[in-house]
Structure formats: C-alpha cells, structure tokens
Amino acid sequence: MVDLKISHHPTISYRPIKPSDLEVLEKIHGDLFPIRYEPEFFYNVVNGCDIVSWGAVDRSRPDGQSDELIGFVTTRIVLAKESEIEDLLRYESSKSDQTLVYILTLGVVESYRNLGIATSLVREVIKYASNIPTCQAVYLHVISYNSPAIHLYKKMSFQCLRRLYGFYMINGQHEDAYLFIYYVNGVQSPCSLLELVTRLVAYMRSGFKSVAARLRKNEVKKALRWPKGTETCCLTTAAQSKRSLRTEGTGCQFV
C-alpha cells in the first residue's frame, strides 16, 4: 500500500496523468482494487490512448514526491448507442454521434481520504463531459457494498439507475453493482414505465377527485331533502373512495 502520513496541510493540485506516472499508478490500482488491470490499461492511461484521466498530487510534499500521484480518475468516451444504458437516455436515433463519459477507475490513497479529493476529480470529469456538445451523461459502476463511493456519488447528485446482479466476479464470487449516472448538457432521464404509471395514476386521481367533489356537492344538496340515514351511507362511501385514491407511485428511479 502506498502509505503516506500527512503531517501538514496538503496542497492538492490536479493535472493530467503522464507517462512518468506509470509505476505509481499501477501500484495504487493494485493497492485499492480487488480487480487486476492489464498492463495495456495502464499504458493507455498514461499515454492518453482512448482514455482521459486526471491525477491529484500533493505539492506540499518534499521535492521528488510533490508531483507523485495520490489520487486519480480514469475515463473513456463511449458512443451512447453502443452503451449498455442506451435505454436510459432520451436518445434520438438521428443523432448517432451522441456520447457518454464512462468512469473506469477512481481512487485516492488512504491517508488522503475525506479531504474532498475524489469529489474534485469527479467534478473535473463532469466539467469535461459538459464541454463535449455530444455528451449526454457521465456514468459508472460501483460495487454494492462500497459505502464511501456510493455516498460520494449520491452527494454529487448522481442518480442510481440499476442494480446489476452478479456484475463483478471477485475472488470467484459474484458481486452486485449499482449503475450511477449524472446527466449533462440539459439531458434528462427518460420516463421509465414506473413514471408513466405514476403520472397516469395522478391524472386519474385528479379526475376522480373532481368527479367525487361534484358528487359530494350533489349529495349535500340531496341530503338537505333526504332522510338522515341515507346521508350517513353516502358519507362512508366518500371516505372509502378517498382512501383508495390515495395510492400513488413512488417516482422515476429504482435501485
């Protein structure tokens, strides 16, 4: 593990990852992730081959270490139509050049955690994605029990769209993942079936309400003319209808 003691206030700065980061980057990945990455992955990261990445360094460390990575985020641009989340986008088939930014890896050395470094790295990714006119969203997978990461994405307003059962294979065990997404450039999540049902129920509810209100009005008018027993029966029915109409959907997303 790259174990660094911080005995001072770090001065964190962010920069692109470069070829001289290769060794440290590989070491930190090995320390932080249960999944092994191929040497080709690191080669592509440090050389910027199809991968865009940012590193975090602590400028207040002694010379020789002040440019050494203590955090990183690596991303890849993917075509929306070729992604697994095509169905979760308001995708116009005529615009076949629509893209997404996929976060491949994100990590911060343990002694530098909870200082907002990952938050800043993900912000860089969002800023980058927002500046690509064809980009619709930033998305990623996270293992279902990674509480710090899940907390981070939720705090940054990522939306959890799916639970993917057995997505990862770690030490021979299937592990679930969550798919988180952050829409950019004014893109909104499309209506899910659940949202459509919710809207339909709300629409029907308002319709029922106005009918019920009209009926009640008539009942009151009639009650002024009818004997008392009938009035009680009508009021019970109205209360029951009100209860049954209160059932609503829960919203657009599901986990």
Ligand X SMILES: CC(C)(COP(=O)(O)OP(=O)(O)OC[C@H]1O[C@@H](n2cnc3c(N)ncnc32)[C@H](O)[C@@H]1OP(=O)(O)O)[C@@H](O)C(=O)NCCC(=O)NCCS
**Cβ 121 to ligand X shortest distance, Å:** 8
Among 142, 161, 184, 252, contact with ligand X (rule: CB under 6 A): 142
Tell me how far apart the terminal alpha carbons of the chain are, to the nearest angstrom.
33
Among 119, 131, 210, 237, contact with ligand X (rule: CB under 6 A): 119
DSSP-assigned letters across all residues of 196-244 = HHHHHHHHHHHHHHHHHHHHHHHHHHHHTTS-HHHHHHHHHHHHHHHHH
Among 45, 57, 152, 181, contact with ligand X (rule: CB under 6 A): 152
Among 46, 108, 181, 252, contact with ligand X (rule: CB under 6 A): 108
> Which residue type occupies 50?
D
The answer to the question of residue 16 lying near ligand X (CB under 6 A) is no
Among 59, 151, 222, 242, contact with ligand X (rule: CB under 6 A): 151
**Cβ 181 to ligand X shortest distance, Å:** 13
- The Cα 135–Cα 186 span in angstroms is 10
The answer to the question of residue 148 lying near ligand X (CB under 6 A) is yes
Binding span for ligand X by CB under 6 A among 18-26, 90-98, 104-112, 219-227:
104-112
The answer to the question of residue 93 lying near ligand X (CB under 6 A) is no
**Closest of 240, 249, 241 to residue 209, by C-alpha:** 241
Q: With respect to ligand X, which residue has the nearer C-beta, 91 or 178?
A: 178
Q: With respect to ligand X, which residue has the nearer C-beta, 80 or 152?
A: 152
The answer to the question of residue 181 lying near ligand X (CB under 6 A) is no
Among 46, 51, 85, 115, contact with ligand X (rule: CB under 6 A): 115
Cα separations in angstroms, 152 against 121, 142, 156, 157, 227: 11, 11, 6, 9, 65
DSSP-assigned letters across all residues of 160-193 = EEEEEEEEEEETTEEEEEEEEEEE-TT--PPPPH
Residue with tokens 């920069």: 15
**Cβ 79 to ligand X shortest distance, Å:** 22
Q: With respect to ligand X, which residue has the nearer C-beta, 140 or 184?
A: 140
The answer to the question of residue 117 lying near ligand X (CB under 6 A) is yes
φ and ψ at residue 22, rounded to 5 degrees: -50, -50
Q: Is 65 helix (H, G, I), strand (E, B) or coil?
A: coil
The answer to the question of residue 222 lying near ligand X (CB under 6 A) is no
Q: b/e string for 172-205 if b means 16 or more Cβ within 10 A?
A: eeebebbbbbbbbeebebeebeebeebeeeeeee
- Residue length of the chain: 255
The answer to the question of residue 146 lying near ligand X (CB under 6 A) is yes
Size of the site for ligand X (CB under 6 A): 19
- Give contact residues for ligand X (rule: CB under 6 A): 32, 106-108, 113-119, 142, 146-149, 151-152, 155
